[in-house]
Structure 1
Amino acid sequence: MSRATPPLPLRRAGRTGLQLPAITLGLWQNFGEATPFTDQRALVLAAVDAGVVHLDLANNYGPPPGAAEESVGRLLASDLRPYRDQLLLATKAGYRQWPGPYGEFGSRKYLLASLDQSLRRLGTDYVDVFYSHRYDPDTPLEETLGALKTAVDSGKALYAGISSYSAERTAQALAVADRIGLTLSLHQPSYSMLNRWIERPGEDGRSLLDVVGEAGMGVVAFSPLAQGMLSTKYLHGVPEDSRAATGSSLQADYLSEENLAHVRALNEVAGDLGVSLPQLAIAWVLRDQRISSVTLGARTPAQLAENLASTQLSALSEGDLARIEEHAVDAGINLWGARSSEL
């Protein structure tokens, strides 16, 4: 692995021994069968070469489900084979991966079967992090977290984490984990200038950031560009090949005139600072030291390189943050809320 750009900053993941690159490569988008493997390979190798050694997966990433893990498995068997111990591989289970009653949610049967399938697709004996992808109100936390403990105790995962759990559910999970002897090391929530739910206080007055900070968990924030709303592609309409136009993860009704007015204002702030809107959005999420890493998707190595440059920017001043605060408002775009963080 060569290094032609400044080294990517490392940030401690809570009170764990993990140091994560400030940017994580998310393989949720652009790693399905519709994307040529040559393009996937070019992006992953460019990321790793730049120091993005944390690759974020889930059992359902594709499409079809499992395709992203299979692609990474091909790379681990070839280009990345010498670097396995330098890579941090994370995968998750919680959303639907196969038909029937045991193909989703938080049961022990599903989680452990899914992990075994993920390991086969990846062609490796272990993943570095295994997450419960969403809170399951119909399965006791003791069962879900007990499955994570089995994964860690067996050596099939080195660290355990949870994703999209609310502040209240995270506090409950931490209590159960302590009772059964499991360390929850990482939390993966969505977070952006237009999706600030992790800052809102829960019933006990603590936000999710407060809960994980007090517990010493690392935070790997995903969707910092708000499913693309904080890119520049929607400033002048909806492109035909965009997520909003194709009806994928970004719903067209999110692009209300009110929301777009905030996006345009934030773009003006970015321009005044001499950076792109995506760079500003990433730097804003990283302003909080409780954020260990930001998970980014990308279509091309060039797009990834632009976003990586955000880690080299000067810290945002109080004046900059005050201008941003006027337009960094919740836009009702938390895709995952009704399925986990609001339960």
Structure 2
Amino acid sequence: MAALVQMVRQGKALYVGISSYGPDRTREAERVLRAEGIPLLIHQPSYSMLNRWIEDGLLDTLEELGAGCIAFSPLAQGLLTSKYLNGVPDGARAARGGSFDTKLLSDANIERVRGLNAIASDRGQTLAQMAIAWTLRDSRVTSALVGARNVAQLDDSLGALVNLEFNAEELRKIDGYATEGGVDLWRAQSKAA
């Protein structure tokens, strides 16, 4: 935290944000910053239908502290798109290795994704659109970060904004599939110092 405080004092940053801290470390970071007269503006955790760890206290903590939440990886690195419904296409991140762990493409996860895709279709959305809308359904989530390799992906992501509302039945069905899928690559928390 000392480095972030110094950056603000030197005019190199206007605001301070953190990423991937759990509730306790978030409180500690906010306490340290507040003691220095600097507000904690934003927290950037990973969050998706298959990675729901922030629902276990972090969202409540951010609301209490008055900090925003900008969720990254709402598409679970592409898993919550139609890309992997029928296997791994050539050129896909999973085919290249790297940061995408092919264990995420387990039969159980693919079945979850197929179930979610059917719900999205019933809503008149692509799976990606529904996944983004679902991420934004909680008013404590300020924004969602999406990555797009091309204009078509960007347009599809923006299409989520057309239908952000979910009824109770849709949420119940989604919860039947949207369970922890082992896709949190960033679970290790940073230390507040």
TM over 0.5: yes
Q: Secondary structure at the match of 2:70?
A: strand
Deviation at 1:316, TM superposition (A): 0.9
Q: Residue 24 of structure 2 corresponds to which residue in structure 1?
A: 168
Whether the aligned pair in 1 keeps the contact of 2:21 and 2:189 (CA below 8 Å) is no
Larger-gyration structure (1/2): 1
Q: Residue 297 of structure 1 corresponds to which residue in structure 2?
A: 147
Q: Secondary structure at the match of 2:109?
A: helix
Whether the aligned pair in 2 keeps the contact of 1:279 and 1:307 (CA below 8 Å) is yes
Paired residues, number: 191
Letter in 2 for 1:229: L
Post-superposition Cα deviations, 1:123-164, rounded to whole Å, max 9, x if no partner, equal: xxxxxxxxxxxxxxxxxxxxxx12111211222111110001
Gaps of 5+ in 1: 1-144, 201-206
Of 108, 123, 132, which residue of structure 2 is paired with 1:273? 123
Of 185, 195, 198, which residue of structure 1 is paired with 2:54? 198
Alignment of 1:221-232 (within 5 A): 221-232=71-82
Q: Residue 88 of structure 2 corresponds to which residue in structure 1?
A: 238
Q: Residue 283 of structure 1 corresponds to which residue in structure 2?
A: 133
Deviation at 1:338, TM superposition (A): 3.0
Find runs of 4+ consecutive structure 1 residues off by over 2 angstroms: 338-341
Whether the aligned pair in 2 keeps the contact of 1:188 and 1:219 (CA below 8 Å) is yes
Q: Secondary structure at the match of 1:294?
A: strand
Letter in 1 for 2:28: Q
Letter in 2 for 1:217: A
Q: Residue 188 of structure 1 corresponds to which residue in structure 2?
A: 44
The structure with higher relative contact order (CA 8 Å, sep 6+) is: 2
Please give the alpha-carbon distance, in whole angstroms, between the structure 2 residues aligned to 1:255 and 1:306: 23
Please give the alpha-carbon distance, in whole angstroms, between the structure 1 residues aligned to 2:188 and 2:25: 14
Structure 1 pair 237–193 and aligned structure 2 pair: CA distance change class (3 A)? same
Whether the aligned pair in 1 keeps the contact of 2:104 and 2:183 (CA below 8 Å) is yes
* TM-score, scaled to structure 1: 0.54
Of 170, 174, 186, which residue of structure 2 is paired with 1:324? 174
Q: Residue 36 of structure 1 corresponds to which residue in structure 2?
A: none
Structure 1 pair 329–340 and aligned structure 2 pair: CA distance change class (3 A)? farther
Tell me, yes or no, if structure 1 residue 209 matches structure 2 residue 59. Answer: yes
Post-superposition Cα deviations, 1:57-92, rounded to whole Å, max 9, x if no partner, equal: xxxxxxxxxxxxxxxxxxxxxxxxxxxxxxxxxxxx
Gaps of 5+ in 2: none
Q: Residue 11 of structure 2 corresponds to which residue in structure 1?
A: 155
Please give the alpha-carbon distance, in whole angstroms, between the structure 2 residues aligned to 1:288 and 1:244: 30
Post-superposition Cα deviations, 1:12-66, rounded to whole Å, max 9, x if no partner, equal: xxxxxxxxxxxxxxxxxxxxxxxxxxxxxxxxxxxxxxxxxxxxxxxxxxxxxxx
> % of aligned pairs identical?
49
- When the two chains are superposed, the root-mean-square deviation of aligned CA atoms in Å is 1.3
Whether the aligned pair in 2 keeps the contact of 1:298 and 1:304 (CA below 8 Å) is yes
Q: Residue 179 of structure 1 corresponds to which residue in structure 2?
A: 35
Please give the alpha-carbon distance, in whole angstroms, between the structure 2 residues aligned to 1:177 and 1:311: 34
